[in-house]
């Protein structure tokens, strides 16, 4: 029986969401195949490994002492989804679920991933990076590049934390003037149908599988914000979307393309807008949410895959990836 450390929490703004994801993973873990180990990274950086409280380095030592076979990453956002924990686990030799540190870091940087997508012919909203120390000089450039309404968001964060819909120069000035971030991303607001497409690597299958996409219809907000994402009933989610088969296929193809461009492994979920002139990619999430309201489990269910079966596929994929032979280094 393999021992699975389900790592959740973290020091970032998505700590609570991550806890919810981790608890759902523990709840749906196949106990006949896996022995669970709950690992919570507290907001102050202390690791809670089972019943043992450890500082950062002590937490890693405890994971090694527990002889963990694989870490299931239920982390989100800064430190958990940006390549940091991935690099640490690679250094210690513990296999983990999801993408490697490089793919995670690139996906987390919204501007860098936007540039990569654009280079591969994928539509992205017009946008620009704003340096807060020089925000006053950026306003006119934002107006020319993005227009109104526009969307202002942290350059590296998830779960729509800190995302603002801006309708005029007064709101834009207020947001830039009071931002706690060093850099922000401003994007044109694309009108259309909001959708998200999940991708799952199935063990034994060399080709990732695009899951049925989901149409997102917020009931209480102008866009899919933090409240809409994590409040049951706040959003109508339709899987598959009420769109033509051709558009649904295009969404799946773009999700697979983004998964490949970034070098994602295991799972990913790409958020898009279906507009009149085409499909625009907003971002790719390398560790999508696993809460009871999360989208990837809904998409897996649409192809007949239960939550426990999806968790098993993700774990087995990580173990399979770790056991894959490495290419020899030429001398």
Contacts for 178 with CB less than 8 Å, ≥ 6 apart: none
Lowest mean per-residue pLDDT among 133-142, 196-205, 251-260 = 133-142
- Of 140, 155, 188, which one is at a domain's C-terminal end? 188
Residue among 163, 169, 170 at smallest CA distance from 185? 163
Catalytic status, residue 292: no
pLDDT at 51 over 60: yes
| CA 320 – CA 318 distance, rounded (Å) | 5
Convert the pLDDT of each residue in 65-101 to its tens digit. Answer: 888 999 999 998 878 888 999 999 998 899 999 999 9
Q: What is the pTM of this model?
A: 0.90
Per-residue pLDDT, 206 = 86
Per-residue pLDDT, 232 = 62
The token duo for 218 is 């917020």
Per-residue pLDDT, 66 = 86
Convert the pLDDT of each residue in 195-239 to its tens digit. Answer: 999 999 999 888 999 999 999 997 765 655 555 555 666 678 999
Query: In which region does residue 110 sit, left (phi positive, over 0), alpha (psi from -120 to 50) or beta (all else)?
Result: alpha
The token duo for 136 is 């006053």
198 and 177 in a single domain? The answer is no
Question: Within 13 A of 67's CA, how many CA atoms are on the CB side?
Answer: 3
Per-residue pLDDT, 158 = 55
Catalytic status, residue 62: no
50 and 149 in a single domain? The answer is no
Catalytic status, residue 138: no
224 and 280 in a single domain? The answer is yes
309 and 184 in a single domain? The answer is no
Residues in the chain: 331
The neighbouring-strand residues paired with 216 are: 194, 237
269 and 299 in a single domain? The answer is yes
Per-residue pLDDT, 244 = 98
Catalytic status, residue 159: yes
Q: Is residue 331 part of a domain?
A: no
Structural domain of 184: 127-188
Catalytic status, residue 285: yes
Per-residue pLDDT, 159 = 47
| CA 268 – CA 285 distance, rounded (Å) | 6
Per annotation, catalytic residue among 10, 105, 198, 289: 289
Per-residue pLDDT, 147 = 95
Contact 300, 307 (CB under 8 A): yes
146 and 259 in a single domain? The answer is no
115 and 237 in a single domain? The answer is yes
Q: Is residue 329 part of a domain?
A: no
Contacts for 272 with CB less than 8 Å, ≥ 6 apart: 194, 195, 196, 197, 251, 254, 255, 279, 280, 281, 282
Per annotation, catalytic residue among 266, 271, 280, 317: 271
Per annotation, catalytic residue among 21, 99, 285, 294: 285
289 and 219 in a single domain? The answer is yes
How many independent structural domains does the chain possess? 3
pLDDT at 274 over 70: yes
Per annotation, catalytic residue among 9, 13, 14, 96: 14
The token duo for 86 is 């991935």
Q: What is the DSSP string of 85-143?
A: HHHHHHHHT--BSS--HHHHHHHHSHHHHHHHHHHTT-B---EEEEEGGGGGGGHHHHH
Catalytic status, residue 283: yes
Per annotation, catalytic residue among 194, 283, 294, 317: 283
245 and 132 in a single domain? The answer is no
CB burial readout 220-247, b (16+ within 10 A) else e: ebebbbbebbbeeebbebebbbebeeee
208 and 158 in a single domain? The answer is no
φ, ψ of residue 204 in degrees (nearest 5): 90, -10
* Per-residue three-class SS string for 252-314: HHHHHHHHHHHCCCCEEEEEEEEECCEEEEEEEECCCCCCCCCHHHHHHHHCCCCHHHHHHHH
Q: What is the CATH number of the domain that holds 162?
A: 3.30.1490.20
Contact 131, 138 (CB under 8 A): yes
| CA 86 – CA 88 distance, rounded (Å) | 5
Catalytic status, residue 276: no
Q: What is the DSSP string of 190-220?
A: --SEEEEEEEEPPTT-SS-EEPPPEEEEESS
At 105, the pLDDT band (50, 70, 90 cuts) reads very high
At 161, the pLDDT band (50, 70, 90 cuts) reads low
Q: Is residue 241 part of a domain?
A: yes
Per-residue pLDDT, 29 = 97
Per annotation, catalytic residue among 109, 157, 197, 230: 230
| CA 111 – CA 117 distance, rounded (Å) | 10
86 and 146 in a single domain? The answer is no
φ, ψ of residue 115 in degrees (nearest 5): -65, -40
Catalytic status, residue 289: yes
């Amino acid at each position: 029986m393999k021992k699975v450390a389900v790592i959740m929490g973290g020091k970032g703004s998505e700590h609570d969401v991550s806890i919810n994801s981790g608890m759902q993973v523990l709840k749906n873990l196949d106990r006949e195949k896996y022995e669970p180990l709950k690992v919570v990274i507290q907001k102050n950086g202390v690791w809670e490994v089972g019943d043992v409280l450890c500082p950062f380095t002590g937490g890693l030592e405890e994971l090694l002492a527990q002889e963990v076979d694989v870490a299931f990453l239920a982390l989100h956002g800064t430190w958990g989804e940006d390549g940091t924990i991935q690099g640490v686990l690679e250094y210690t030799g513990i296999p983990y679920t999801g993408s490697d540190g490089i793919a995670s870091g690139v996906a987390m940087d919204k501007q860098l991933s936007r540039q990569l997508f654009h280079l591969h012919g994928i539509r992205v909203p017009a946008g620009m990076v704003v340096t807060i120390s020089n925000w006053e000089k950026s306003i006119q450039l934002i107006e020319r590049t993005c227009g109104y309404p526009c969307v202002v968001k942290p350059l590296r964060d998830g779960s729509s934390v800190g995302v603002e819909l801006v309708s005029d120069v007064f709101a834009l000035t207020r947001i830039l003037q009071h931002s706690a971030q060093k850099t922000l991303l401003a994007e044109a607001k694309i009108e259309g149908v909001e959708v998200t497409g999940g991708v799952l690597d199935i063990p034994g299958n060399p080709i990732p599988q695009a899951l049925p996409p989901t149409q997102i219809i917020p009931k209480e907000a102008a866009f899919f914000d933090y409240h809409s994402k994590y409040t049951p009933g706040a959003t109508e989610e339709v899987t598959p979307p009420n769109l033509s088969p051709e558009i649904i296929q295009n969404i799946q193809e773009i999700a697979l393309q983004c998964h490949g461009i970034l070098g994602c492994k295991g799972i990913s979920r790409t958020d898009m807008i279906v507009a009149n002139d085409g499909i625009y990619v907003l971002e790719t999430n390398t560790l999508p949410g696993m809460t009871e309201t999360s989208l990837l489990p809904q998409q897996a269910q649409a192809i007949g895959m239960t939550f426990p079966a999806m968790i098993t596929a993700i774990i087995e994929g990580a173990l399979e990836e770790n056991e894959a032979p490495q290419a020899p280094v030429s001398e």
